[in-house]
Amino acid sequence: MKKYPFSNKAIKAIIAASIALSPLASTGTILQQTTVSAAEVTTVDTAVQRVTLIYSNLGEQELFKTVAESLKNDFTFTSEDWTYVLTQPVRTQMQASMDAAGADVVAEQVVKEIAAFVYDSNATNLATNYAAFKASASGQAITKVMGAGKIDLMLQLLVDTEKLLWSEKYEDKLLTALENGTLETVIDEIRAEVIASNPAYEQLNKDLAAKMGTNFEGLLQIKNRINEKLVAKGIITSTDLETLKDAFLIAALKAGNPNDGGSTPPPGGGGGGTLPPTNPDPNVISLPKDAAEVVREKNPSGMVEVVTKIVPEKVADIVALITGEKNTVEVVLEAAAPGEKAKAEVPAALFTEAAKKNPNAVIEISTAEASYKLPASEIKIADLAAKLGTTADNVKINISVNVVNKTVKGLTLASDVIDFTIEAVAGTRKEYISTFSSYVEREIMGDTDFNKGKSVAVRLNADGTFSAIPTLFDGKTATIKSLTNSEYTIVENSKTFTDVKSGWAKEYIDTLASKYIVYGKATGEYEPGKHMTRAEFAVLLVRALGLPTAKYDGSFKDVKGIEWFAKNGELTAAVKYGVIKGKGDGTFAPNEKITRAQAAAMIERAMKISFVKYDFSQLDKTKTLNDFKDAKQVGSWAKSGVEAVYQAGIVKGKGDGTFNPNGYTQRNEMAAILANFLVTAKLLDDTFK
């Protein structure tokens, strides 16, 4: 699914600065690489489309309806309230201008109808409501005072401010202002730059001050004071107001970059029809209304945690939305400010009941920088409750997804470092969940498109080392398939070898080396023509699959555990996950050259690992072992493996029509075989020519 394409740094700036833009008080804005010039001013059509797109992602619809009805029916502000909202000088000038222009409406009515328009619009009716407001007595009053097209111009100014707010030019300044408490000053600076960029905006601001008693900034302050009075009057609560602000923010984030043709609706899309959602994945379920609450609390170390808590009483409502097709429940974490951490608190019942409803149910924890897709069946609640000495109904699962501000020596980072943590909690007792029986997908977002051939996710290990993890890339999104929790990041690496300067295998070798699967020799050579050993290929498969390593357990007579392929745990991992079995006499023969039949058998075992979820339906069953002249030379133990890799297109026969099962495989050939396996297993992007 599509995620918000922002860095941790940018998201904090979005949250901080969003108060400046919304008709309500808090629409987030969008990261844009250029500033706005007079030639780039938004048209009214695209402005309406942009706001419509934001509304198409807007949650809390029932709350908006409640407010809208109240505004229509019993908007009972007293004269004292209106004096506070408009201020007396503004009200006096505004009314005098409307009277002079012959507008038969009072200033309070104009402001009330603007507020009603904000609350009573949605993606379907926004364009219609906007046109109706311009045609109303209030809209006509503004037009008579300000001139034709000025309502449109104000909307365009909002959207153009949105563009500039998220330029790289202001990102650092916004963050500094947030820390220094000078945010409003920077926001004023941004708006002033947009106004100064276009003579039409400059004249608009002057006319507003002269005819309406206040400039554009003053109008936004009126909007804020209306919200304050809505709370004071009991029309909405302060919590409701924050909920509505957050709803606008999230909607704007989901709307994407307004200057990106893929993120805004096509021309004419704002004409009143319902726009498609930014996230079109039909399998993803958003939380029902009031299913979560957000609290800020200090952990034992004194750090503030922003906790998105799933309300236990809402679990049944959430599970009811899960079907055979819709199996993913998304929990969007409330964003944390600098120095805080974000996490979700999920009742154990959501995992158990979701798994009962659909064995493939997934609980997805999402932030702006990353997401964590937890198969519900992977969280063994009964086992965790036993370890915690309690019953399942007392267990809560805490899932943290946070950016870690750190540098990693020797690696070129292409994304933030993200810490993924899960813990089961009962009272003061905790049990960390660090390993899984199947791949648990995570997504990490980059600021720019990743280089598929040279990028890979790595797990940062506690001992300072790192391990490459199977990763697929789609633009700015990296999908990681891992069996463990830890800190992860995306790195970009470009590796070549002095003895592989050209040739048919160069792209395979360079790609696998850049992804830290093949290492080569200390001399800087790969030795492509040298035969590969059994130990070397076992280690390659372990690295390629991202299998967790473990201490050597003495599985083989001829392996002591101090060898390069055993001391770091790769050999044990290969045994544990069934990639290797050894020989009948209890040995492994690690230094023997691996035959083509042995390699095929090892690959087939890897294909059959349950969490790899290899799609065997893609095999070409028209191909059989009998296609090879030397089919009878394939041992019975290897027949299934040879046929599987042949049908999958992983290994081809020789030019003379044989498979040559007992022949040895060179290191360049094995690189191609391994890459072909990973591509067909959907663990590696196919970047090969």
CB 312 within 8 A of CB 355: no
Give the pLDDT mean for 296-317.
90
How far is 59 from 407, CA to CA, in rounded Å? 37
How far apart, in whole angstroms, are the C-alpha atoms of residue 133 and residue 144? Answer: 14
Residue 59 has pLDDT above 90, yes or no: no
Which range, 106-110, 282-286, 359-363, is most confident? 359-363
Buried b (16+ CB within 10 A) or exposed e, 170-190: bbebbbebbeeeebeebbeeb
Q: How far apart are the C-alpha atoms of 543 and 537, rounded to whole Å?
A: 10
What residues contact 472, with CB distance under 8 A and at least 6 apart? 478, 479, 481, 682, 683, 684, 685
Model pTM score: 0.64
For the stretch 608-643, pLDDT in tens is: 999 999 999 999 999 999 999 999 999 999 999 999
pLDDT of residue 24: 37
pLDDT single digits (tens) 527-543: 999 999 999 999 999 99
- Residue identified by tokens 């949605």 is 122
- CB burial class (10 A; 0-12, 13-18, 19+) of residue 390? middle
What is the pLDDT averaged over residues 571-597?
Answer: 93
| CA 463 to chain CA centroid, nearest Å | 28
- Residues 418 and 401 sit within 8 Å (Cβ to Cβ): yes
SS3 336: coil
Which one has a higher pLDDT value, 644 or 179? Answer: 644
Element (H, E) at 131: helix 126-135
Confidence of residue 563 (pLDDT cuts 50, 70, 90): very high
| Mean per-residue pLDDT over the chain, rounded | 84
Q: Where are the domains of the chain?
A: 8-25+57-255, 284-487, 506-680
Query: How far, in Å, CA of 73 to CA of 71, rounded?
Result: 6
Task: Identify which of 338, 229, 327 has the alpha carbon closest to the alpha carbon of residue 11.
Answer: 338
Cα(79)–Cα(164) distance, integer angstroms: 38
Which phi and psi (to 5°) does residue 549 adopt?
-85, 165
CA atoms within 13 A on the CB side of 492: 12
Q: Tens digit of pLDDT for each residue in 123-180?
A: 778 888 888 888 889 889 999 989 888 888 888 887 777 777 666 677 677 667 766 6
For the segment 437-486, what is each residue's pLDDT rounded down to a tens digit? Answer: 999 999 999 988 999 999 999 999 988 899 999 999 999 999 999 999 99
